[in-house]
Amino acid sequence: MTDNRPTPLRWLWLAVFVLILDQISKWAATAWLSYAEPVPVMPLLNMTLLHNTGAAFSFLASAGGWQRWFFTLIALAISIALVIWLWRLPARERLTGAALALVLGGALGNLIDRVLYGYVVDFIDVYYGSWHWPAFNIADSAITVGVALLLWTSLRPAASAPRN
């Protein structure tokens, strides 16, 4: 018999791990990289310190400053919703729990930057030729993987569904 009872916040360790890894990597990038000067790591990858005052892909980056608090409130609301979702999540939904924790850790990592500095520290620069993907960070990566896992778990057939 599987335990279907909610296990309050059993996935918070993963969110905290992502948050710590994100903040340490941003500290290291800020300490060791010069702003906007690419440092080649391997083909297709540079480390380039950038400050993003907007959201994903620098959306609203030049909006005049109000976006800092707008995105701060959104990240805070999403983080609260994710904690509630994790609190209510049945123990058997492990992949969903891991996905939510990844998104939560990433959201909190970028939230800390926004509150402390007014921008998010980005430093991972993936490119091909002269084309560069918008710079990102560990928090962004965790959010992306978490959302992908949430989409995958929502689209796959339920384990308890009858088979034909």
Residues labelled as active-site residues: 122, 140
Count of residues in the chain:
164
The dihedral formed by the CA atoms of 83, 58, 37 and 139, expressed in degrees to the nearest 10: 10
